[in-house]
Amino acid sequence: EGDIFFMPTNIKQNTIFAIFMATLMSYFMINYNKFLFGAPLNRNLFYFPVKQYIVVLPIAVAFSVLFVNKGAKIIALRFVEPGNTHTFKVKSAFTFAHVIFMAPLMSLVSSGIWSDVTLRDFLLTWPIKILQNAPFAFMINIFIAAPIVGFIFRRIKHYIN
C-alpha cells in the first residue's frame, strides 16, 4: 500500500524525493512565471533557466525536506485515510497540502530575489503571486511532476535505504 503513494520512508529517501520533485516543479514554475511576465511562447521559453535554478532549487529542497513534507503529511492525513480512501483523493490531498505550504514560501523567495520594488509594493504583490502560482503548481504537481517522480522513485527506492 505504501508503494502506491511512493512516500519516502527515511531522511535519505525524503531528500532524494525532494530533489527530484523540486527539480521538476522549479523548472515548470520558473517557465510559467517567465510566461506570465510576458516572455513569448516559443522554444526559447523552455530553455533550462540556470541562473534561477542555482538559487531556487536548493531553497525548494531545503524547505521541502525540513518543513513542508512533515506539515503537508499532517494536514493531508486529517482529511484522508490512505487505506480507506480512493488513491486519487489521497494523492490530491497530499499535493494540495504540499502546495499550500510551498506556493507562499517559493513565491516569497522568488519575489524577494527577482523583484526590485519597495517593501510596500512587495507586500501588495506577494498575495497576487501566490494566487497566480498555486493553481498551476497544483495541476503541474498532480498531473506531471508527481507521476514522473513517483515512477522514478519507485524504481530506485530500494537502492537508497
| Cβ(68)–Cβ(99) below 8 Å | no
Please give the model's pTM, rounded to 2 decimal places.
0.81
pLDDT in tens, 121-131: 888 888 888 99
- pLDDT in the model for residue 119: 79
User: How far, in Å, CA of 116 to CA of 56, rounded?
Assistant: 17
- pLDDT in the model for residue 22: 92
The low-confidence residues of the chain, meaning pLDDT below 70, are: 1-6, 45-46, 48, 114-115
- pLDDT in the model for residue 143: 92
